[in-house]
């Protein structure tokens, strides 16, 4: 009965073109890598040029980070053995939290503390459920990441969703809110569009309405702002009302996440957030690798990598703008985005999928993102760039797109 039901549901997804297939990377995360399809063991892996990872600074396979992981495993072993509140919290985790807090300290003039989590998904569940009690209203942007949406659903708080980046609508909701605690919740950089939240206006609103501002900076941290401090530093924001969630598997190139906020908020999360309590602490070696990554990312090499990424972003946007001008009938458009996430809007689901398929046949890996991940009628190619891409890599993408769009 269950199997029949699920088989039928799966068949339906396949017929609607919604079936997802995992491709198998046969090498480390990098722009150039061999890729195979599951079950195709007899086919040779196809060499691909990928524009889909979140390894924005090219640190995932950086020799110093890899070495810190190996050395960390020799020093601390493979697993942590328990959750943080039992015996799994080691010196390596402690050092990482302190290093993160020291790096980001300028954002909280009155002091703040960092707390590690297994993944960004868990950190967002933790934040939403531990802070979102029955005395609280969560105000969340409609385009927020799935982990924030899921967290808000699990929370006991009232949840109000506001249209994407509509500060005026949010302000009206805040004005009529009667709960004693109010949390504005937003992505710093939106993951499917690459655009920025109006963080300065959101923080001003938080201050005016006695609310707090939760920023999920998964795609801004390491990439934007002085010393890679992220979206908040990018617009020069600081203040006690900020609650930051940062992930360590994107620009950091490793795995994990953390929350940084006022020490009382962090202590509350440590004491009560179930997604942080009822789970085994990450392997200590990951914390050592992340600390090595942080050292690179916040220093001159990080600056050089951020500059390289910005050069690739400019090259891609100028190239795409020229391309779209040359093919006015192709239906594509290029929304504003100053980040590593560059969506090429196509609109029609089948056209977007066909374009991604033509690129794949030419050895380019660019995902087509379709509803329900993005709103109906806004299917797109989601191009993500990395400091590890060369000028020639981006030129190849532009050339291939030119011939694919012309068809």
Ligand X SMILES: *Cc1c(COP(=O)(O)O)cnc(C)c1O
The catalytic residue positions are 191, 219, 250
C-alpha torsion sign, points 164, 170, 172, 178: positive
The residues, any chain, with a CB within 8 Å of residue 183's CB and separated by 6 or more, are 131, 132, 136, 137, 138, 139, 157, 211, 212, 213, 214, 243
Q: Tokens 């300028």: give the residue.
A: 106
Residue with smallest beta-carbon separation from ligand X: 120
Phi, psi of 190 (to 5 degrees): -80, 135
C-alpha torsion sign, points 190, 26, 66, 297: negative
Our CB check for ligand X shows the closer of 144 and 400 to be: 144
Q: Shortest approach of ligand X to residue 348 CB, angstroms?
A: 25
Our CB check for ligand X shows the closer of 189 and 346 to be: 189
Residue 145 within binding range of ligand X, rule CB under 6 A: yes
Q: Shortest approach of ligand X to residue 252 CB, angstroms?
A: 10
**What pairs with residue 342 in β-bridges?**
383
Span near ligand X by CB under 6 A; candidates 17-25, 78-86, 213-221, 302-310? 213-221
Site for ligand X in 146-175 (CB under 6 A): 147
3-state secondary structure of 215: strand
Residue 119 within binding range of ligand X, rule CB under 6 A: yes
Q: Shortest approach of ligand X to residue 69 CB, angstroms?
A: 17
3-state secondary structure of 123: helix
Among positions 216, 262, 288, 393, the unique one binding ligand X when judged by CB under 6 A: 216
Residue 365 within binding range of ligand X, rule CB under 6 A: no
Site for ligand X in 178-207 (CB under 6 A): 187, 191
Query: For 133-171, b where at least 16 C-beta lie within 10 A, e where not — what string?
Result: eeebbbbbbebbbebbbebbeebebbbbbbebbebeebb
Q: Tokens 């070495």: give the residue.
A: 67
Q: Shortest approach of ligand X to residue 124 CB, angstroms?
A: 6
Our CB check for ligand X shows the closer of 220 and 332 to be: 220
Residue 344 within binding range of ligand X, rule CB under 6 A: no
Residue 382 within binding range of ligand X, rule CB under 6 A: no
Our CB check for ligand X shows the closer of 112 and 259 to be: 259
Q: Which residues bind ligand X (CB under 6 A)?
A: 119-121, 124, 145, 147, 187, 191, 216, 218-219, 247, 249, 257
């Amino acid at each position: 009965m269950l199997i029949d039901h699920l088989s039928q549901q799966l068949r339906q997804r396949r017929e609607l073109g919604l079936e997802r297939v995992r491709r198998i990377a046969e090498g480390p995360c990098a722009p150039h890598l061999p890729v195979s399809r599951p079950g195709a063991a007899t086919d040779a892996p196809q060499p691909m040029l990928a524009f889909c990872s979140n390894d924005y600074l090219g640190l995932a396979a950086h020799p110093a980070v890899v070495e810190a992981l190996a050395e960390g495993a020799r020093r601390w072993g493979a697993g942590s053995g328990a959750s943080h509140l039992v015996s799994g919290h080691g010196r390596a985790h402690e050092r990482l939290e302190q290093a993160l807090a020291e790096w980001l300290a300028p954002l909280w003039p009155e002091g703040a503390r960092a707390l590690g989590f297994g993944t960004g998904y868990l950190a967002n569940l933790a934040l939403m459920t531990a802070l979102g009690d029955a005395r609280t209203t969560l105000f969340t942007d409609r385009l927020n990441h799935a982990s924030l949406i899921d967290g808000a659903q699990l929370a006991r708080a009232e949840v109000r969703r506001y249209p994407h980046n509509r500060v005026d609508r949010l302000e009206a909701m805040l004005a009529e809110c009667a709960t004693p605690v109010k949390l504005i919740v937003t992505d710093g950089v939106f993951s499917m569009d690459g655009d920025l939240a109006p963080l300065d206006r959101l923080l001003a609103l938080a201050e005016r309405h006695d609310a707090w501002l939760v920023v999920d900076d998964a795609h801004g941290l390491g990439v934007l702002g002085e010393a890679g401090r992220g979206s908040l530093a990018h617009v020069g924001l600081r203040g006690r009302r900020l609650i930051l969630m940062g992930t360590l598997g994107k620009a950091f190139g490793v795995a994990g996440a953390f929350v940084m906020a006022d020490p009382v908020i962090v202590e509350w999360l440590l004491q009560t957030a179930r997604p942080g309590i009822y789970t085994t602490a990450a392997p200590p070696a990951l914390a050592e690798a992340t600390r090595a990554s942080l050292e690179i990312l916040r220093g001159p090499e990080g600056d050089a990598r951020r500059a390289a990424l910005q050069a690739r972003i400019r090259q891609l946007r100028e190239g795409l703008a020229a391309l779209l001008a040359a093919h006015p009938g192709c239906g594509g458009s290029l929304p504003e985005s100053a980040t590593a996430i560059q969506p090429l809007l196509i609109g029609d689901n089948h056209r977007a999928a066909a374009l991604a398929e033509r690129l794949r046949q030419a050895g380019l890996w660019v995902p087509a993102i379709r509803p329900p991940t993005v709103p109906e009628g806004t299917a797109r190619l989601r191009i993500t760039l990395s400091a590890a891409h060369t000028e020639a890599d981006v030129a190849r993408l532009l050339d291939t797109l030119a011939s694919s769009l012309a068809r």
